[in-house]
Structure 1
Amino acid sequence: MCLKQTNKPNILELHYHPESKVADKLNERSKLSQLIFTPSIWLRGGNLQTLINPLKGIYLKAFMPYQYKREIFTFKDGGTIALDWHETIPEGNATPGQRQRPIVAIMPGLASDSNDIYIVNLVREGQRNGYHPIVINYRAASGVPLTNEVWYSQGSTGDLMEPLQHIYTRYCKDRDLFLIGNSVGAQLSGSLMGKVGDKTFIKACALVQPPMNLRKCGDNMASTNFGLYSRFLALGLKIKLRPHLAKLRPIYKEKYDLDIDEALASSKTIMELDQNFTVKVFGFGTIDNYLDKVSCCNYLSTISNPTFILMAKDDPIVGRDTIEYDLCKANQTIILGVTDSGGHLGYFESIMGTEQWFTRPVYEFLNCYK
């Protein structure tokens, strides 16, 4: 049968600093360098791997919805998000000396939430590997209403730091805390880890296909595939904003002199949405200033905890030119893993199944520090 593994195998290329102690540990304790991704012959190329993701996700949500235990977290500014726990919410810190399962916090992509297929796969794989998974959702995501006027952007690292601090303080006296970021969630995670540097409380981190350089990523989406991915991402964010326009319209007009309806109507691509909406709401002044300041490539050099970054050369959204080989290899704590194929948050080895290969290298890396 050709439904599964009859395509060209992909070796996971590993790139790292020649004196990396993280690499030494991986070579001793893991099989990361031996992992091979074999895409289905029916899913050749980055576009098919990328596009099948939401289609499989629709099926998963309709027929096999994942059940979480929800904790509502309130930001200092009054905003709220959902923290979705696998199976149970921990009962605070355990009895001293009683070792608990490590917690792995998972950050979705820009317009995703805890029910997207790649998040569910990370949660399930985390549980199988002995972790207690939790998904940190965005504002106004996963059915949680927008409780104030604050939105989020690709530079909103505070929206990740606050819930991580809450999780660590309340639940991690007796256990370690790990972090997995995906797509823009990986961009936020990488930026945050670089900002906190050696003050981090995250034991180890995995970044799945972050757009390391947002300018290059935007240019890639605009110049390939007729700009469809950029339009699709912009549409997803506009759909997410629409239920909150009645609340945001007068506030944004007064605070930012922004006609939010006009801003959304005139934004067909993600770059236009950033130019017409994000830049003004978050005070970046210009689109160039925004892209330059929030890109996680600016923070890779100061990441101090063990970090695995997974990229695919055929990723049609991020683009192969955004893979910062030299910056990653200059930091002794970073391991960069690159495959020839996989698409964006794809990595399907079967056209029929819902499992994704990328969860294996992610946990193979994290398990070395568990």
Structure 2
Amino acid sequence: MVNIPIINPLHWGYHGTVEQAVSPNGTVNLKLKDSKAGSSNKGSQLHEFIGEQVPELSNNARFELNPYLFTGILQTMYLGSADFSKSFPVFYGREIVNYSDGGISTADWVMAGWKQKYDFAENDAKFNLEQFKKDEESTHPENWPRLHPRTRFLNDEELKGVHAETKPLIVVLHGLAGGSHEPIIRSLTKNLSEISNGKFDVVVLNTRGCARSKITTRKLFYAYATDDIREFLKREKERHPGRRIFTVGYSFGGTILGNYLGEDGENAPVDAAAILCCPWDLYTASLKMRDDWWSRKLFSKNIAQFLTRLVKVNMGELEYTQGKDEPPAYPASIEHPSYTVFTRENLKKAYSFNSTVEFDDVYTAPCLGYKNALEYYKAGGSINRLPNIKVPTLIINSKDDPVVGEEAIPVVPAKENVNVTLCITDIGGHLAYLDKKYNSWAGAQIAQFFNKFEELVQ
């Protein structure tokens, strides 16, 4: 008889509680615009501001999720398997972003005006598909894959309009091998773009090779891949120096964002940030995925095979053939990633991978000069750079997250950095936090955080 582990009974239920992990000395003082938020002369500390302006994230606050999804495993499985095709309808206009190393990724801008342009009916999610397809065909670059629903490339005039916008900008980083099309990202971008009658401009920066993006260099993404977000934010800030910029990272996107904010410190052109369900300690999170029966059986293999498909789709550009291609000029390192791992032999191995550790052992670790995946995880986790985050940052993690695990939540480092407020929930799963209507509770809180920050903070 197989002994199946029992889920922790303390993490059952749909009534959740928030616990703020805050420095004993308090948090950074935010200068307020006026008296709308209380005592404008004294300002407001970050954790107090969050508690007052986003009440459901105050210390000991209670919230409710879907009663049918009463564990983190059920929340996470439902998010990954249910049909959300008609939920969170968002129109995206795609831009190809060019980087200094010759690589590209894509930026999907939320185009709120396209709902009217294409006669979108909110109740049944129908719109003028014929006109959309005509515009899609006229803007689609040659040899690019077909994009996800309600997403097409911007024409030159539309792109100029996007670049001329001066509203506060929110840049979203998605999870591992995901993209703007994911239901949880659409839920967030819909929330962000509609709050306060559309006060924000919202864009999802898809990582290289993701969301049906082509790649032009032998480089994908990894925990240290902060150059792209750095260049993108620099470009946007230079275009409109007085424009406020906010950033939000989900899961592995949170890892990249956390590493970037820690690397650049006070030089990051970001006014505030939010990070949801980030595996801050990649090493500890990897042990959760390896040793926990539920996490290993239900999630680890799926993630590994998702990454394998990403490599397979991009093998035309990535593939290295010994004897045909010149070997790298430098030993593998963070500064000079090696592409010799992208071989047909390794791809054949990858089809049988059952864990992300196996994938990173074969691909990511040797690509970056590490001995193995665990060494890469110890070095690449954003927990190492959390102490140097200088931007006011809201962090949300759940104790019942089957992908991250409770042990990877950075309680001690968060309490030692006055610029962050860590909100720990006892339920929510990985990125899900689905309420009775299957909307994202966490996404709504993040949207309200940015809304109030823009409204009240200098």
Shift of 1:259: 5.9
- Residue-by-residue CA offset, 1:291-331 (whole Å, 9 max, x unaligned): 12210000111100100110011000000011111110110
2:192 aligned partner:
126
Give the equivalent residue in structure 2 for 1:203: 271
Look up the match of 1:244.
314
- Report the TM-score when normalising by structure 2: 0.73
TM score, norm. by length of structure 1: 0.89
Rounded to whole Å, the distance in 1 between the matches of 2:88 and 2:269 is 35
Partner residue, 1:338: 424
**Per the alignment, in what secondary structure is the counterpart of residue 448 of structure 2?**
helix
The answer for the alignment partner of 2:349 in structure 1 is: 266
Aligned residue number for residue 359 of structure 1: 443
Instruction: Give the aligned partner of residue 150 of structure 1.
Output: 219
Q: State which of 48, 61, 70 in structure 2 corresponds to 1:24.
A: 48
**Counterpart amino acid of residue 278 in structure 2:** P
Matched, 1:231 2:301: yes
- Name the stretch that deviates more: 190-199 or 227-236: 227-236
| Rounded Cα–Cα distance in structure 2 between residues aligned with 1:251 and 1:78 | 21
Q: Which one of the candidate residues 55, 70, 81 is aligned to 1:55?
A: 81
Match of 1:3 in 2: none
Displacement of 1:82 in angstroms is 1.1
Task: Give the secondary-structure state (helix, strand or coil) at the position aligned to 2:84.
Answer: helix
Aligned mates of 2:446, 2:100 — CA distance in 1:
32
Q: Give yes or no for the alignment of 1:369 onto 2:449.
A: no
Instruction: Provide Cα deviations, 1:79-135, integer angstroms capped at 9, x if missing partner.
Output: 1111011117554356xxxxx421100000011110101110111110122211100
Q: Work out which of the two has the higher radius of gyration on C-alpha atoms and give 1 or 2.
A: 2
Aligned residues: 354
Alignment of 1:167-316 (within 5 A): 167-170=236-239, 172-224=240-292, 225=294, 227-228=296-297, 229-250=299-320, 254-255=327-328, 256=338, 257-258=340-341, 260-267=343-350, 268=353, 269-316=355-402
Unmatched runs of 5 consecutive residues or more in structure 1: 1-6, 95-99
| CA displacement 1:196-219 (0-9 Å, x = unmatched) | 011111000000011011110000
Match of 2:104 in 1: 80
Q: 1:121 to 1:284 in 2, by over 3 A?
A: same
Give the C-alpha shift of residue 43 in structure 1: 0.6
Deviation of residue 192 (structure 1)?
A: 0.6
- The amino acid across from 1:191 in the alignment is N
Amino acid aligned to 1:207:
I
Q: Aligned partners of 2:295 and 2:379: how far apart in 1? A: 27
Of all paired residues, the percent bearing the same amino acid is 25
Aligned partners of 2:105 and 2:213 also within 8 Å: yes
Q: Does 1:12 align with 2:23?
A: no
Deviation at 1:13, TM superposition (A): 1.4
Partner of 2:70: 44
User: Is the CA contact (8 Å cut-off) linking 2:90 and 2:110 kept in structure 1?
Assistant: no
8 Å contact kept, 2:288–2:295: no
CA distance in structure 2 between the partners assigned to 1:13 and 1:152 by the alignment: 33
Q: Which residue of 1 aligns with 2:168?
A: 102
**CA shift for structure 1 position 62:** 6.6
| Letter aligned with residue 408 of structure 2 | T
Matched, 1:33 2:54: no
RMSD over aligned Cα, in angstroms?
A: 2.2
Q: Distance in 1 between matches of 2:14 and 2:217?
A: 50
Distance 1:226 1:143, change over 3 A: closer
Give the corresponding residue for 2:163.
92
* Equivalent-residue separation in structure 2 for 1:155 and 1:149 (angstroms): 16
Runs (5+) with no aligned partner, structure 2: 1-12, 28-44, 113-158, 329-337
How far has the Cα of 1:338 moved from its partner? 1.0
Q: Aligned partners of 1:136 and 1:346: how far apart in 2? A: 20
